[in-house]
Structure 1
Amino acid sequence: MNPYDRLPDAAAEIFGEEATAERQYDLLTVDVPVGSWIAALEIARDKLGCTYFDWLSAVDEPGTGFRVCAHVVSLEGRKVRRLLVRTTVSHEAPELPSAVGIYAGAGWHERETHEMFGVDFTDHPHLVPLLLPEGFEGYPLRKDFILAARVVKAWPGAKEPGESEHGGPKRRQMLPPGVPDPNEWGPLKGQLPPA
């Protein structure tokens, strides 16, 4: 029996006592502490057969830190087994060991995550900017990043016609196709003003 099939119940046994796991929508998610990040990826590759590296990214969770996620897949046999390995680094010291030594494909994803969130991947062979223009300041996918274009120039219009200070006409209220007017049919028949 593949150890993958024993999860999520055997998460602490397979990934270490601080690891937790859950399965939702055919995706197994394992959360590990920062110190177990590299070991968890090695276990995923060597013990669980997750030899296919799919992607790595992060999510900024205010008050918690950056949740770094790596999605790996086992293609052994006829069954596809998906695994999401996650850890959380603090906002004050966003640093994590590089996974390039385990999954070579992680290099590009770590560069992007570093550039967009500011997470430093120690021992990365070439952690240089990838997507943003030279001299760009800040990390655009952090929740505290200010959209400078909206500070300099306000949003040009209202969300709906008639909501601006110019007082233009409002859009006529319409019912979706196939929905009868509640004033003509149903329990409120004849009690509502015309649409």
Structure 2
Amino acid sequence: MTGWLPREAADIFGPGATAEEAYDLLTVDVPTESWLDALTTARDELGCTYFDWLSAVDEPGTGFLVCAHVVALGGGGTGSTGVRRLLLRTTVGHDDPALPSATGVHPGAAWHERETYEMFGVAFTGHPGLLPLLLPEEFEGYPLRKDFVLAARVAKAWPGAKEPGESHDGGPKRRQMQPPGVPDPNEWGPLKGQLPPAPARPARAARGAAAAGERPARRNRSVTEGSASQTPDAPWQQRPAAEPPARKEPPAREEPEPEAPPAPQGPSAPQETPAPKEPPAPEEPPAEGGDPA
């Protein structure tokens, strides 16, 4: 079983059905003749009653891949209350793309089928009114096909068609590569046959072994010898290889010797106290009328 399918895809949708699941999306491919039966089975047995969208993809060399996205909102045959998504796909050829209309299973598919028919040219038989929806009535072709000619890219100037500094009327300096769907303006459109041919790229001149000389043999060199394009120096120009400097070892660290504790000192001798100086004797006053003694 694949994803949330209760049984194998071939047992549910019939022979030729395959299923795969990626990013929480279950995809089932069915043959063209099983298209309506697959939509009915998804609605009645798997509970995919909600129709989301229908469209197509142009696969070159294969056909148109018509896709219908339906959702189970809970309950139904899955027995789950969560949202489960299912993408049903089938392929119709490019020669006569036609498919039965899904409006009998999901009426909301009517507008989606009109848009798919208008953009890709896939006809839905049994559709109540397959009328134009988006394009004007005078529009010709199916614009989402890979082989549709993008006429607007030729009829009008397109951003990037001119180089900076070029005038509007002047042509581009070089012919650029056209993207898919855009024809050569010199082969289709209003300027058909009026543009100069694209300049051809000059071919490389043939070089003989005698004219160009033989290619020297490739030599493998080491990193020290340099590249092969470097010529070796003359003997007198070669410098002697410098010897790498000797590695200096750090000097051994000398451990400091522990200092001896100071010897205990005895009590010091008492210092002599100087004797106090005697005050000078007072001078006697001179005697009256006489000389001092």
TM-score w.r.t. structure 2 length?
0.52
2:66 match: 68
Match of 1:123 among 110, 126, 139: 126
1:142 match: 145
- In the alignment, structure 1 residue 103 sits paired with structure 2 residue 106: yes
- In the alignment, structure 1 residue 157 sits paired with structure 2 residue 160: yes
Q: Deviations over 1:44-101 (max 9, x none)?
A: 0000000000000000000000000000000015300000000000000100000000
Where do 5+ consecutive residues of structure 2 fail to align? 76-80, 167-171, 175-293
Structure 1 segments of 4+ aligned residues over 6 angstroms from their partners = none
2:5 match: 6
Q: Which has the higher helix share?
A: 1
Where do 5+ consecutive residues of structure 1 fail to align? 167-195
Whether the 8 Å contact between 1:45 and 1:51 is mirrored in structure 2 is: yes
Whether the 8 Å contact between 1:65 and 1:88 is mirrored in structure 2 is: yes
Aligned length: 163
**CA–CA distance in 1 between the matches of 2:105 and 2:119?**
23
Question: 1:1-195, aligned counterparts within 5 Å?
Answer: 5-6=4-5, 10-77=8-75, 78-157=81-160, 165=173
Q: Deviations over 1:141-160 (max 9, x none)?
A: 00000011112235353598
**CA–CA distance in 1 between the matches of 2:82 and 2:65?**
28
Which fold has the larger relative contact order, with Cα–Cα distance below 8 Å and residues 6 or more apart in sequence?
1
Q: Which has the higher strand share?
A: 1
Identity, % of aligned positions: 72
Instruction: Indicate the structure (1 or 2) with the bigger Cα radius of gyration.
Output: 2
Q: 1:162 to 1:74 in 2, by over 3 A?
A: farther
Q: 1:25 to 1:154 in 2, by over 3 A?
A: same
CA RMSD between the two structures: 2.3
**CA–CA distance in 1 between the matches of 2:5 and 2:140?**
46
